[in-house]
Amino acid sequence: MQKTPDKSFEDVFWADSVADEAIKRAEGSPLLKEITKKHGFIVMDEKTPSGTIHIGSGRGWIIHDAIAKALKDKGVKARFILSSDDMDPLDKPSKELSREENEKYIGVPFRYIPSPAKGYKSFGDYYFTQCTDLFKDFGIEAELESTGHEYEKGSFNKTIKIALDNADKIQKVYTDLYGEDVAAATKLPFNVKCPKCSRISTTIALEWDKSKEMLYFECRKDVVKWAEGCGHKGWISPYDGNGKFPWKVEWAAKWPTNSVIVETAGKDHFTKNGSRTAACRIAVDVFDYPPPYPSNGYEEGQGYEFFTVGGKKMSTSKGHGLGFAESINYAPAKMLRFMLIRTRPNAAIDFDPYTNDLILLYERYDQAERVYFGKEDLGQKENARQKRIYELSHVGKIPSRIPPQVSLLHASMLVQIFEDENIIFDCLRETGHLPQDADKQELAYVKERLKFAKIWVEEFAEEQYKFKLQKEIPKGLNLNEKQKKALHVLAERLKKKWDEKDLFNEFYNICKELDIKNTEFFEAAYRVLLNKEKGPKLAPFILAIGKEKAARMFEGV
């Protein structure tokens, strides 16, 4: 685990504030104090694997991972548990299933629907694993569990009995929040999995025998509009995977079942009288368990804001937005983690890779890295914040010295000039971007930046960042005499040794000497080298392609 920042600045970073609050709550509650002593601080999240899981869910996973790490940094035991809610049913046709399969499995839990691809245990496992296989790349350390498996092995048996024994209290919660007309205000709080057709959406529990601990249920055609039951009925034990709680009750039941201390969710769950409100009341009134942070008793607290891509909200069920597994094609996992860590959970994120968002993301990451290694000073308070962001967003072990800093724009320039990676490395050594003694890890760091720079140029970059280096002077330049003179002077001065900063300043010296506008000077250089009016920063560009080559081109105008 990375070192903890100066304690006087811990409150500036949101994950440390949450950790402090969780520890304070545990110390102030005899029940939570005993729970955390026995189980540690459990941080939990969950997701229904109903289809492609979107990057918006990834925000929650990274938030919870960061909180668990912050708790560990404070010296307490902490674990992040992520549960696949695979006992939830298929409630609409899936594009991954055939028409016959959709008809057969509509209303059946995802856990019991075959995977659309080979190598996975189920439909739910297929979509969940697509994401969790990437957790190492994102630096997410989570204990993975299946909600269905937890039902089957009896983890919920205790809370199932409590809920059914106190069904009237749960019904009152629904009545108080939503009125007497909602079905849950009169139903028993449990959905049986029909032993004949395996559907869980089409059953209704009608009677609970408390002494025998058996439920009488019927699998009907009229329970929901989108699925028909098979007509089977009878008595069944509710335990060991024979069914599940309705969602709001299940959320409340998970907290005592898993000894959860921290669990947040998207703000849509935290709307007044929404699912979090109901879960909090059920946890308090029925399970006698304090709802986890950010809730406090009946008060639901505040969930995290939405993560949108190009202004579109993520939705698994509707198939909108950017998939979590697909997101690494738009930006490296560590960059996405950094973006989610540096943004407070209560701030909305709109990320559009087709704008300058990626350039800014890389620049902010590189700046945080420079601050962490003492190469840039933003002031004591901001330095502490940036260091903490870097610590909790860095994937893997932080190196002993700052990795080679090659900006996305500089990397994109190089991949458009040179095809040979080794030539790029030589160029970076010559310009001081890459240490002469760079080790394998540092070379790999640069390779990753070059790899994505190429993707960025080909897929996302605006036209102004794309170019093709000219092999000879383009025809029809129509440069004026001042422009030609300026390029001739520049060609002569390129024979000297220059670094990027001094060469940049020399451009303006030439413009002043020859009384030529800066815009005319740069336009002339770009038209000769790129046959475009604009291009990448001229000084590093000339140093990258080679002063001699640039000078020859300028001499020929």
Residue 350 β-bridge partners:
308
CA distance 286 to 280: 10
| Residue with the two structure tokens 């475009």 | 532
CA distance 45 to 47: 7
**pLDDT tens by residue, 224-250:** 999 999 999 999 999 999 999 999 999
pLDDT at residue 321 in the model: 60
pLDDT at residue 337 in the model: 97
Residues 385-416, buried b or exposed e (16+ Cβ, 10 A)?
bbbbbbbbbbbeeeeeeebbbbbbbbbbbbbb
Helix residue ranges, H only, 109-265: 123-132, 135-138, 147-152, 157-165, 167-178, 247-258
| Residue with the two structure tokens 């903490």 | 388
For the chain, the average pLDDT equals: 94
pLDDT at residue 382 in the model: 95
The answer to whether 238 touches 257, Cβ cutoff 8 Å, is no
Residue of 398, 532, 406, 369 whose CA lies nearest to 464: 532
Q: What are phi and psi of 494, to 5 degrees?
A: -70, -10
pLDDT at residue 311 in the model: 62
pLDDT at residue 308 in the model: 83
Tokens of 533: 């009016």
End-to-end CA distance of the chain: 59
Q: Render 11-55 in DSSP notation, one character per residue.
A: GGSHHHHHHHHHHHHHHH-HHHHHHHHHH-EEEEEEE--SSPPBH
Residue of 4, 48, 102, 59 whose CA lies nearest to 308: 59
All residue ranges of the chain with pLDDT < 70 are 1-12, 311-321
Amino acid, single-letter form, for residue 339 = M
Tokens of 227: 């699925």
pLDDT at residue 8 in the model: 39
Q: Which domains does the chain have, with CATH numbers?
A: 7-154+259-265 (3.40.50.620), 182-244 (2.20.25), 408-465 (no CATH), 481-555 (1.10.10.350)
Tokens of 237: 């034990």
pLDDT at residue 3 in the model: 42
Tokens of 105: 């499995």
